[in-house]
Chain A
Amino acid sequence: MVDMVMAPPEMQVVYDYPDSLTDTPTSYCPGCTHGIAHRLVAEVLDELGLREQTVLVSPVGCSVFIYQYFNLDACVAPHGRAPAMATGIKRMLPNHIVFTYQGDGDLVSIGAAEILHAAARGEKITTIFINNAIYGMTGGQMAPTSLPGQKTTSSPTGRDIVSTGNPIRMSEVIAQLDGAAYIVRRSLHDVASIRKAKKAILTAFKVQMAGLGFSMVELLSSCPTNWGIAPETALEWIEQNMLPYYPVGDFKVRDDVKAL
């Protein structure tokens, strides 16, 4: 990826571009943490040596073009239906790793039934769930995960919980289901959290490799453009506003997962 002429030969590379990502520049806005999540997944697949055996199911949302960014086999599901498509692929190709990458507008609203039933059936797939509390691609409308009082284009005076209800904590909901083996929430708001998120993604893929059941990692992400703030302020906004409502933690780690 870098100009190799400039690379200092006397030094060792400590951080380089993952093989599981293509050279295509992403369509995300500056500072969007989608890119960080992509890189973490790519690094985990590189470390596990699974690039040739992995099938990615792309969602609808900002990350709909994810198949261009990952150097993997992929297909695009209709809005919210990625877990259903992943179920079919995994059942036909049980020796492959199948994962879905979904945003909150995709997974929590229109795709809520699919993700709940995939988890309830204990499908041996992995879901990377990006929660940025807003619909990004369509212009910043209120999502089921938008915080109480959060201003969006469809809630210009702030989310009114009397008429729209409270945000859904999806990880906690899915953790209730017996088929779910590993359900955790992590954040991408600082370097330490990003490193922890990578460990969680690694575990989630190991759960699928061992065939233990459904695994999901929820990642609290930023949307600087639609939140209307600068990228670094957006990371602070995650810490100050999202973390109190969506606490980071392990909501379900089954005993057989702990033994991994």
Chain B
Amino acid sequence: MTVGKIIIHQDRCKGCTLCSTVCPQHVIHMDDTRLNARGYHPALFVDNGDCTGCAVCAVICPDVCITVYREAPAPKRARLAEGAAAL
């Protein structure tokens, strides 16, 4: 599975919870233990390796707080060429 990672800009977040409701891997939670500079409970990314970098959270975030990273996929074409050469 593709490995992804997101960075949530903590002080832009308004704690609307939309990202945590749409995340298919359930790796975004609302941080109820602290407040950010604007007085909201920000969203918190749990980096447990489940994130696939699908960017659904970034698409729904109304405050554009989320930057999404994804591991570069191994070049499929090169693998196919390798397989053909092995035959």
Contacts and interface: CB of A to CB of B under 8 A. Distances in A.
A6 B47 CA distance: 13
Contacts, number: 99
Given A2-B9, A31-B14, A31-B16, A17 B71 contact: no
A13 B67 contact: yes
B16 A15 contact: no
Interface stretch (A33-41, A54-62, A73-81, A164-172): A33-41
B38 interface: yes
B55 A231 contact: no
B46 interface: no
B32 interface: no
A33 B16 CA distance: 11
B63 interface: yes
B35 interface: no
Interface string A1-19: 1110011101111111110
B64 A231 contact: no
Contact of B55 (A15, A39, A224): A15
A232 interface: yes
Most buried by B among A26, A34, A231: A231
A13 B66 CA distance: 11
Interface in A124-163: none
Contacts of A7: 7, 67, 69
A32 B62 contact: yes
Interface of B: 3-5, 7, 9, 12, 14-18, 21-22, 38, 40, 53, 55-56, 58-64, 66-72
Interface of A: 1-3, 6-8, 10-18, 21, 25-26, 28-36, 38-39, 190-191, 194-195, 224, 230-232, 235
